[in-house]
């Protein structure tokens, strides 16, 4: 048998398969980059009022220095004053007072903090004894006194000393700010919580 040399001819390698693979990889990479850039642009341009970037540039740049000095002097003159909105309205502590007479009402004093003095709030205190309600726990509007206390007396005197009080503190709009369930001794006098 004669060797015709057809099988011994070296095969030509074509770069077309190699080139196609490289082109596909480059296209996929470019597509990913375009998607990342578009997504970033979409996120940055989609600012609404909830996550808007504040503009701290003063309107009158000539008055900027005098405004800054004025604000600094105000903060130095009143270092302890700040808006009461910065502090949460919460029940910090308090006390109950019940007299020994059947005609004595039960008084509840709740400390919410002196930073809230003068603020209008609402409070309800539901008293009970052995699981039975002694009152209706009506919501009463009151003003926080200068010491930071909210004080409210029961509408009626109770036949029994309460052994439990459920206090609910509201803001002036009637939104619940804090609650406290207080277990009490069923006796007269002052009890703190």
182/98 same-domain check: yes
Closest to 134 measured CA to CA, from 156, 151, 102: 156
> What's the pLDDT at 165?
97
Does 2 map to a domain?
no
pLDDT score for 11: 59
| 33 CB-near residues (< 8 Å, 6+ apart) | none
Q: In terms of residues, how long is the chain?
A: 193
> Would residue 76 count as lying in a domain?
no
Q: How many other CB atoms are found less than 10 A from the CB of residue 149?
A: 20
Query: pLDDT value at position 95?
Result: 98
User: Phi, psi at residue 21, to the nearest 5°?
Assistant: -65, -45
Taking CA atoms, 175 is separated from 84, 121, 171, in Å, by 16, 10, 5
Torsion sign, CA atoms 145, 148, 152, 153: negative
DSSP state, 12?
A: P
pLDDT tens by residue, the chain, 193 residues? 555 555 555 555 555 677 888 899 998 999 999 888 887 777 776 554 444 444 444 444 444 444 444 444 444 444 444 444 578 999 999 999 998 888 899 999 999 999 999 999 999 999 999 999 999 999 999 999 999 999 999 998 999 999 999 999 999 999 999 999 999 999 999 999 9
Residue 104: give its domain's CATH number: 2.60.40.10
Provide the domain limits for residue 129. 87-188
- What integer pLDDT is reported at residue 65 of this predicted model? 43
H or E element in which residue 167 lies? strand 164-170
In a shared domain, residues 111 and 163 = yes
User: From CA 70, how far away is CA 39, in angstroms rounded?
Assistant: 44
- Check residue 8 and give its pLDDT: 59
Note whether 92 and 175 are same-domain residues: yes
Question: Does residue 192 contact residue 94 with C-beta atoms inside 8 Å?
Answer: yes
pTM for this one?
0.56
On whether residue 68 sits in a domain, the answer given is no
pLDDT of the residue at 2: 57
Count: domains in the chain: 2
* Backbone CA torsion sign across 99, 100, 103, 106: positive
Query: Does 20 reside within a domain?
Result: yes
């Amino acid at each position: 048998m004669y060797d015709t040399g057809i099988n011994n001819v070296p095969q030509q390698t074509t770069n077309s398969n190699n080139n196609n693979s490289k082109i596909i990889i480059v296209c996929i990479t470019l597509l990913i980059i375009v998607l990342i850039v578009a997504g970033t642009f979409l996120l940055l341009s989609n600012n609404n009022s909830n996550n808007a970037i504040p503009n701290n540039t003063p309107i009158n740049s000539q008055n900027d220095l005098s405004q800054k000095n004025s604000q600094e002097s105000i903060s130095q003159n009143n270092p302890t004053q700040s808006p009461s909105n910065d502090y949460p309205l919460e029940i910090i502590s308090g006390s109950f007072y019940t007299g020994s007479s059947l005609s004595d009402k039960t008084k509840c004093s709740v400390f919410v903090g002196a930073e809230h003095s003068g603020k209008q709030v609402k409070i309800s205190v539901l008293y009970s004894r052995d699981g039975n309600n002694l009152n209706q726990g009506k919501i009463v509007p009151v003003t926080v006194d200068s010491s930071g206390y909210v004080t409210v007396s029961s509408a009626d005197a109770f036949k029994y000393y309460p052994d439990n009080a459920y206090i609910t503190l509201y803001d002036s709009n009637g939104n619940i700010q804090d609650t406290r369930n207080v277990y009490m001794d069923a006796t007269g006098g002052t009890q703190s919580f």
